[in-house]
Homo-oligomer: A and B are copies of this chain.
Amino acid sequence: MVSFESDYIAGAHPQVLKRLMETNLEPLSGYGTDPYCESAREKIRAACGCPQAEVEFLVGGTQTNAVVISSMLKDYEGVVAAKTGHVSVHEAGAIEYTGHKVLEIPQEAGKIKAETLRRYLKAYYADENFEHMVFPGMVYISHPTEYGTLYSKRELQDIADVCHAYQIPLFVDGARLGYGLMSPGADITLPELAEICDVFYIGGTKVGALCGEAVVFTKCNKPKHFLTSVKKRGALLAKGRLIGVQFDALFTDDLYFKISRHAIEKAEEMKKIFRSKNLDIYLESPTNQQFIILENKRMEELKKQIQFSFWENLDDSHTVVRFVTSWSTTDEDLEALRKLL
């Protein structure tokens, strides 16, 4: 069945898999110390225009969020995030499992505003009981957000300015970063992002890899003995090569960007199909996740022929559903979608 269920329905981009094949029998040292990991790090540093960046590889998104947040926060701190943030809602409490609170603030279409953040932080320190509360110790945003929306460069810089005024790092969850950077709505480049934020990750799982996320510490701020902290959290891969080789392939000849652009082009075509069929767009998204509103009966029928995902119940008779493109979306997929709608 044709599937727009997520951006992780296929395996790896063929070029990525090819590199895994080619390097498969080379004996390599473990835990991210092999030359492919090193090469991937170097290429990522170059792509970020950030020669001092420290790059570490982890397996998946929730794991990466939990490892980065918990190893960077101090004991008495929590992480500020949008109420709709992935860490707030869809990680089964992985951040709290590390002993830290997610401090939820209001959002719009998945995005937080610098002004909201500033008011929140100001109110926190103006509260005479602040020592009895969780210190805001980091700001987490996702780009693209969980709703497929994007921050502008100005918006990101403003958020970073607030963070730095309060001396807390800004962490960007880039599980779908490629799709954000290649969107027609993007006005920020990878080097600009690297300059603005303190730590972020380049998502592999949703952008062409079998698994893997590349964490980039941009300000010489990688936590001391990070490898041990990663191991302690059960997140250290014995065959680090698995992720190193994949990112090395993704950052060779701009593959990461090319396949991201492909997904965006397919998303734009999909939007056109939705519009031509007069479907209710729930939210205008410039990236690879598209949200539409379906009457429940129609949704049930459509489900039999095509895969998409539940987003939320809108009312008793309507549901918001999500259609996602990715590097693996084909013209045939879209043609099938067009015919079905």
Contacts and interface: CB of A to CB of B under 8 A. Distances in A.
Contact of A62 (B24, B90, B97, B234): B234
A237 interface: yes
Interface residues of A, number: 88
Contact of A234 (B89, B205, B235): B235
Interface centre among A24, A27, A92, A99 (most CB of B within 10 A): A92
A233 interface: yes
Contact of A14 (B24, B91, B228, B232): B24
A100 interface: yes
A93 B241 contact: no
Contact of A132 (B14, B210, B228, B313): B228
A273 interface: no
A335 to B, nearest CB: 15
Nearest to A13: B24
Contact of A97 (B60, B64, B232): B232
Nearest to A309: B128
Nearest to A25: B10
A21 B29 contact: no
Nearest to A232: B92
Nearest to A5: B29
A279 interface: no
A59 interface: yes
A102 B103 CA distance: 10
Contacts of A75: 70-71, 223, 225, 229, 232
Interface in A66-88: 66-67, 70-71, 74-76, 78
A104 interface: yes
A62 B129 CA distance: 15
Nearest to A90: B132
Nearest to A16: B24
A23 B8 contact: no
Contacts of A11: 20, 23-26, 239, 241-242
30 contacts: A8-B30, A11-B20, A11-B24, A11-B25, A11-B26, A11-B239, A11-B241, A17-B20, A17-B21, A27-B307, A60-B234, A60-B236, A60-B238, A62-B234, A64-B234, A67-B234, A78-B93, A90-B133, A92-B229, A94-B234, A96-B96, A96-B99, A96-B134, A101-B102, A123-B313, A129-B310, A132-B231, A210-B239, A211-B238, A234-B234
Interface of A: 1-3, 5-6, 8-12, 14, 17, 20-21, 23-30, 59-67, 70-71, 74-76, 78, 89-94, 96-102, 104, 123, 126-129, 131-135, 205-206, 210-211, 223-225, 227-229, 231-239, 241-242, 307, 309-310, 312-313, 328
